A and B are shown apart, each in its own frame.
Chain A
Amino acid sequence: MDFGIWGVVALVAYLAALVGVSEIARRAKEDHSPTDHFLAGRSLGTFVLFMTLYATAYSGNSLLGYPGRAYRDGYSFIMATGFMMVIIVMFHVIVPKLRPIAVHYKFVTPGDYIRIRFGGEYARYLRIAVAVLMSLALANFLLAQLKAMGDVTEIVTGGRIPFELGVVGLALVILFYETRGGMRAVAWTDAAQGIAMLVGLAALLTWLLSEAGGLEEITRAVTAKAPEKVAVPSHTVNVNWFSTIALMGLASVLYPQAIQRIFAAQSGQALRRSFAGMTFMPLATTLVVTLIGIASIARFDITDAVDTDGVVPMLLADWGSAGGLATAAALIVFLGALSAIMSTADSCLLSLGSLLSRDLLGRDGTSESDTLLGKRLAAAILLATIPVALARDLTLWRLIELKMELLIQCVPAFLVALHWSKLRTGPVLLGILIGTAFSVTLTFSDHARLYGVHVGVVGCMLNVAIAVVGSWLPERGVKLDAANEQA
């Protein structure tokens, strides 16, 4: 039996297991409230919280997009280990302040913080603006996962499950278990998926190193084939390195699904311990996938940038075709990669449902009908995203950057607002609108970077400056507030 058929068998068994877990999670539900569905009744302890944070953070982007980018750029993409780690550093800015407020006011979505923190006539618009930015970023993230699911399934099954069927079929499975089991199903499957991902990646790197004769031989082979991918990077690359660390560090802590895990934690202690462990995961994951991408430089000749996202599935097909233990190990990696992708997609979907119903439509009640609305909206978004995912014209890395350039515009509304009580609603809204317009306009006019700095980072600096300077004009603000009150 060839590797492609084993791939189909493993896939079917894995999906059946996911459906089983969702059924157990459904039975564990305490009620049908949004808190229970979207936050698992705030019951996530250290281990499950750690695994769900891990599996959610490491996605199809990490497993396919990062090796693809490392294949294209070479060793300079070692920056990925740094920017994935800076996310856990940046959580210091948000978690100790946000957690007690979230528990006190029983937050379900990030928009709940905006509702409590900001008042006045512009508060509603600010909440909508933040919800739109976060929803667009999540939909983009979901799109990237769907594309990745299609890619990995098609290549590993030897084309027996075509890209289109992979995208649609796996999306429907996610929709099924997320709708039935909610955050419990997502967190429990994340835990299993995280373990599969770790084991799989370690096995793949070990195989690559033993095949090539060690890390030094891989570096020598890459030097012989593409010396520019080993040489000390240029000034522009270094500026981009700093910029990417800023972009990912500031934007990633504002992932709605990450913020909701701060709300869903059983205790502050569970969060503290989970983050203390999470900080090591870029070394076990991002560094490994970067080295896998670099090792692929000497193995493959890929010219189209979009196709470089397929280096991991191509390696798996090579490895699995050897038969015996290699086939079994390659199947574990395949399931690990698929797990990473699906665990992120399900978290995006869960967050999207709650964000759309509570923050955009204002359904912030606690009844079963509010939960049901969230589920239906999530299903509608998923079905709307599928046709876009079927068009294969953007690299996963470009999708990541687009998403981050939107999310980073929410920095004043959370990171600054949590630490500075004088921050006012109007200037924050104005900053977000101008920062977003600046970033989007430049991005779509093919100026994604200014002197190596992401336009999203420049837009964020502009955005923060407007919010801070505007809030520093107290007299005008007081007069306006007084006038509004009289009116």
Chain B
Amino acid sequence: MNSLSTGRSPWLRRGCLMGIALLYVASVPWYREAGAAPALLFGLPDWVAISVGCYVAVAILNSVAWLNTDVPDHLDEASSPAPRDSEAN
């Protein structure tokens, strides 16, 4: 089953997954001065609010990615490597 017949876009999926990777890097406050007293944003320390914002965005992108993922129910539809015949029990 190809992506045209299912309406799912592998490109959109890949773009979402790349966006998720970048958001994870941004979610950790490595770029801030350690021990600094933060300002408040939405009632949270600002670095926490940024992390939460990143994770909300990750959730949205990941949901879109899953909706654009093919999960085949038959082996011939998948690109999975076949079991190794030479070593199969």
Residues of chain A having any CB pair with chain B under 8 Å: 75, 78-79, 81-82, 85-86, 88-89, 92, 95-101, 103-104, 115-120, 123, 214-216, 218-219, 227-228, 230-235, 238, 241-242, 245, 267-269, 271-273, 275-277, 279-280, 282-283, 287, 417-421, 424-425, 481
A100 with B78: CB separation less than 8 A: yes
**Can you name 16 A-B pairs with beta carbons within 8 Å?**
A82-B58, A96-B78, A103-B74, A119-B83, A119-B87, A119-B88, A216-B40, A230-B38, A232-B33, A241-B28, A279-B58, A280-B63, A420-B81, A421-B81, A421-B82, A421-B84
Residues of chain B having any CB pair with chain A under 8 Å: 17, 20, 24, 27-30, 32-38, 40, 42-45, 47-48, 51-52, 54-56, 58-59, 62-63, 65-67, 69-75, 77-84, 86-89
B71 CB contacts on chain A under 8 angstroms: 95-96, 99, 268-269, 271-272
A345 to B24, CA, bound (A): 31
A401 to B19, CA, bound (A): 28
A267 CB contacts on chain B under 8 angstroms: 73
A101 with B75: CB separation less than 8 A: yes
B34's nearest neighbour on chain A, judged by CB, is A234
A420 to B79, CA, bound (A): 11
**Residue from A104, A215, A271, A420 in contact with B75 in the complex, judged by beta carbons closer than 8 Å:** A104
A271 to B28, CA, bound (A): 30
A425 with B87: CB separation less than 8 A: yes
A215 with B55: CB separation less than 8 A: no
B29's nearest neighbour on chain A, judged by CB, is A232
B52 with A78: CB separation less than 8 A: yes
**Residue from B34, B52, B54, B80 in contact with A287 in the complex, judged by beta carbons closer than 8 Å:** B52
**Residue from B29, B40, B55, B69 in contact with A219 in the complex, judged by beta carbons closer than 8 Å:** B40
A238 with B80: CB separation less than 8 A: no
A282 with B65: CB separation less than 8 A: no
Given A95-B71, A100-B75, also A215-B44 (CB < 8 A): yes
B82 with A214: CB separation less than 8 A: no
- Min CB–CB distance B15 → chain A (angstroms): 13
B32 CB contacts on chain A under 8 angstroms: 232
B66 with A279: CB separation less than 8 A: yes
A434 to B26, CA, bound (A): 34
Given A96-B72, A267-B73, also A85-B58 (CB < 8 A): yes
B21's nearest neighbour on chain A, judged by CB, is A89
A82 with B24: CB separation less than 8 A: yes
A120 with B67: CB separation less than 8 A: no
B48 CB contacts on chain A under 8 angstroms: 75, 78
A115 to B81, CA, bound (A): 15
Given A82-B51, A116-B88, A238-B28, also A232-B75 (CB < 8 A): no
A228 to B84, CA, bound (A): 54
**Residue from A214, A268, A481 in contact with B73 in the complex, judged by beta carbons closer than 8 Å:** A268
A78 to B50, CA, bound (A): 11
Q: Which A-B residue pairs are the 3 nearest by beta carbons?
A: A119-B87, A215-B43, A268-B71
**Residue from B56, B65, B66, B87 in contact with A120 in the complex, judged by beta carbons closer than 8 Å:** B87
A279 CB contacts on chain B under 8 angstroms: 58-59, 62-63, 66
A419 to B55, CA, bound (A): 27
B36 with A231: CB separation less than 8 A: yes
A419 CB contacts on chain B under 8 angstroms: 81
A242 with B73: CB separation less than 8 A: no
A421 CB contacts on chain B under 8 angstroms: 81-82, 84
Given A230-B38, A231-B38, A238-B29, also A116-B43 (CB < 8 A): no
**Residue from A89, A234, A245, A273 in contact with B35 in the complex, judged by beta carbons closer than 8 Å:** A234
A418 with B81: CB separation less than 8 A: yes
A417 to B80, CA, bound (A): 10
A283 with B66: CB separation less than 8 A: no
A234's nearest neighbour on chain B, judged by CB, is B34
A85 to B45, CA, bound (A): 21
**Residue from B44, B56, B63, B86 in contact with A119 in the complex, judged by beta carbons closer than 8 Å:** B86
Given A219-B40, A425-B87, also A99-B65 (CB < 8 A): no
B29 with A216: CB separation less than 8 A: no
A418 with B80: CB separation less than 8 A: yes
A89 to B19, CA, bound (A): 12
Given A89-B17, A117-B84, A481-B86, also A99-B30 (CB < 8 A): no
B79's nearest neighbour on chain A, judged by CB, is A97
B87 with A118: CB separation less than 8 A: yes
A113's nearest neighbour on chain B, judged by CB, is B83
B66 with A276: CB separation less than 8 A: yes
- Min CB–CB distance B88 → chain A (angstroms): 5
